[in-house]
Amino acid sequence: MDKIILGKTGIVSDKNGFGALPMQRVSEAQAGVLLTKAYDSGITLFDTARMYSDSEKKIGVHLSGVRKNITLTTKTMAHGADGFWRDLHTSLTMLKTDCIDVYQLHNPPFCPKPGDESGLYDALLEAKREGKIRFIGITNHSIFVAEEAVQSGLYDTLQFPLSYLSTERETALVQLCKAHNVGFIAMKALCGGLITNAAAAYAYLNQPDFDTVVPIWGIQHESELDEFIAYRHNPPALTADLQKVIARDRAELAGNFCRGCGYCMPTCPAEIQINNCARMIQLIRRSPSAQWLTSEMQSAMRNIENCTECGTCRTKCPYGIDTPTLLKENLADYEAIVAGKTTI
């Protein structure tokens, strides 16, 4: 089984990490089943965040007994030192540990540095001095912030979206991290659900170019976990058939498309479910369509008509997407599908 050294941290991880965001959507008992099975199968890196509601708590409950055998990475979205310390203490309590292996700043809109106004980096250094964290990481969706963070030499790890739909510049981050000995944790290897062929996603990231990357697979169902465990033993090869899948997906999803990250959402005055509605047509085409055509989903889509064009979502989208326009395009196509005027 492939092992990865996470850059200058020296942490040795199994090639597959466990992305624990979906733990907030499953029951306590189901979380126990998944986390324990993942650990028993050899997965050692578990990534969570303060903002994933009770995900940290479930990890603490089910994995604290094997704490010394695993790597815990979590994150804070705090804007300043007060929030940072509040989050860190809560995370330590929830995870039932006295030290977090990699503590990451969660998608800050800039690259925090020592002595800056936010005080975030100084707080990270203090937490490290106090032994509450071992290493300093950053997560981001902005290529600009990510590149600056890696080049700054201030961060031990970078967590960034990486999949076969990534751009050349995004993919080049892997080599940049290698050159600076920064660990690379890859999120969204399934591109927020738009990649539906897990074997293709796995085979792509299993190439020698990515031998320093630890993908964290967001796992909600036992069948998904079983699939990734099976891949650990028998990694799918990048066959001609899978290459065709990748080429087709790249052609279909080229250009600006919503990755479903949700960073634009909490402040939408019309409470539009942007992370689903702005990519609805892709979701309908690429996953079982019935779930996207229910009466609840039709109401959610029609709520796009209440968009005030305030533009807040556009300014918050790390991919520079013209979100209000994309929403309206999706609504027009959706109405045509619902009315039977077009085929899926």
Annotate each residue in 199-238 with x if it binds ligand SF4 (CB under 6 A) or - if it does not, as one string.
----------------------------------------
Task: Decide: is 191 part of the binding site for ligand SF4 (CB under 6 A).
Answer: no
Alpha helices in 51-191 (DSSP H): 55-63, 81-94, 120-129, 143-152, 168-179
With CA atoms as reference, report the closest residue to 187 among 289, 278, 95, 263.
Answer: 263
In 155-263, DSSP assigns E strands to 157-161, 183-187, 213-218
* Number of neighbours of residue 148 by Cβ within 10 angstroms: 17
Identity of the residue, 152 or 275, whose beta carbon is nearer to ligand SF4 in the bound complex: 275
- Going by their DSSP bridges, the two strands 3-5 and 12-14 should be labelled as antiparallel
User: How far is the CA of 107 from the CAs of 116, 261, 294, in angstroms?
Assistant: 17, 11, 33
Q: Are 21 and 55 in contact (CB under 8 A)?
A: yes
Among the listed ranges 12-20, 172-180, 294-302, 309-317, the one in contact with ligand SF4 (CB under 6 A) is: 309-317
- The Cα 105–Cα 108 span in angstroms is 7
Binding to ligand SF4 in span 312-331, by CB under 6 A? 312-313, 316-317, 319, 321, 323-324, 327
Task: Decide: is 307 part of the binding site for ligand SF4 (CB under 6 A).
Answer: yes
**How many chain residues bind ligand SF4 (CB under 6 A)?**
28
Binding to ligand SF4 in span 243-282, by CB under 6 A? 258-264, 268-270, 272, 274-275, 278
Among the listed ranges 29-37, 143-151, 304-312, 331-339, the one in contact with ligand SF4 (CB under 6 A) is: 304-312
Residues forming contacts to ligand SF4 in the complex (CB under 6 A) are 258-264, 268-270, 272, 274-275, 278, 307-313, 316-317, 319, 321, 323-324, 327
